[in-house]
Amino acid sequence: MKYTAMVLLQITSYGWAAIAMMVLSVLVAVKVLKRGDTRRKPGCLGVGYIALIVFCLLSFATMLSGMLGGFVYHALKLPRYEAKVVDHHAFQDKDSRGRYVTMYQPVVVFTDARGREQQLKTDIASTGAPEIGSTITVLYEPGMAAAEELSGGKYILLGGAAMGLLLIGYFLVAGISYAMGRPMARIGMFGMGLLMYIVFPVGMLFLLGGMSYAIVLYFMGKKPDMPMWALAICIFFSIVLFLAFIGYIRMLFEKGKRIW
């Protein structure tokens, strides 16, 4: 008993949260299988498979919530400074295809609230070299190893995280509602609306923004090593995505008018 008590006392809050998510995942898995077939007893393999899916969704939702909550907290709490880019830190990193690419991390200089000059790297790296002498907004408090950059790239990342959290949250709510025996008609209609009115248009805008950004970087001279065929593909699909987005929005408006 003493040994068990000592082990329980050593579990951190993160450990208790993980245990709670495991228990909830197993309960949801059992309920889902029972609703699917009330005549059969849920097997260990089926329970484990569904519980693993639920646990992964809960873990991703917790991670994304923490990331977004941390950014909002820092944006409201930490002081802002206008920093000047004086250098950049280059390093090699692997992309999604396993190829090495050169990443650039800005090095900025600014004067903090105590009147001390700070020279730090920011927390954002990109494939385009930052323009020396340009000004960016950063968040900083004494003790931080890197300044938090407030840039378009970061807002895009946070927007993607928010979209992922929205989708994961929907699937979690749908799964738990199904496990509790709730009717799924309204949840299904909400999911279709979420897909048509948010996921599709935001996804098209995200792809359009990424390709347009690559084109802008090339013509600004920040990606001189970009092949011409890649530039041509980006231009072509940017035009196609722009026209598709306009057509899709018009279709949604026409559909909304018919409904109302």
pLDDT of amino acid 236? 92
Closest CA to 104 of 83, 123, 125: 125
pLDDT in tens, the chain (260 residues): 555 555 555 667 777 778 888 888 888 888 887 776 666 677 778 788 888 888 888 888 888 888 888 888 877 788 888 889 998 888 887 766 677 778 888 899 998 888 888 888 888 887 777 888 888 888 888 888 888 888 776 777 777 888 888 888 888 888 888 887 788 888 888 888 888 888 888 888 888 888 888 888 788 777 767 788 888 888 998 999 899 989 888 888 877 655 44
- Give 22-79 as a DSSP string: HHHHHHHHHHHHHHH-TTSPPPHHHHHHHHHHHHHHHHHHHHHHHHHHHHHHHHHHSP
Report the b/e string of 240-259 with b at 16+ CB within 10 A: ebeeebeeeeeeeeeeeeee
Distance CA 161, CA 20 (A): 24
Taking the whole predicted model, whether its pTM rises above 0.75 is answered as no
Q: How open is the CA angle 35-36-37, to the nearest 5 degrees?
A: 95
- Give 90-135 as a DSSP string: EEEEE-TTS-EEEEEEEEEEEE-TTS-EEEEEBS--BSSPPPTT-E
* Two structure tokens written together for 112: 């903090």
* Two structure tokens written together for 232: 């041509």
Closest CA to 17 of 54, 62, 49, 48: 62
**C-alpha Rg value of the chain to the nearest Å:** 24
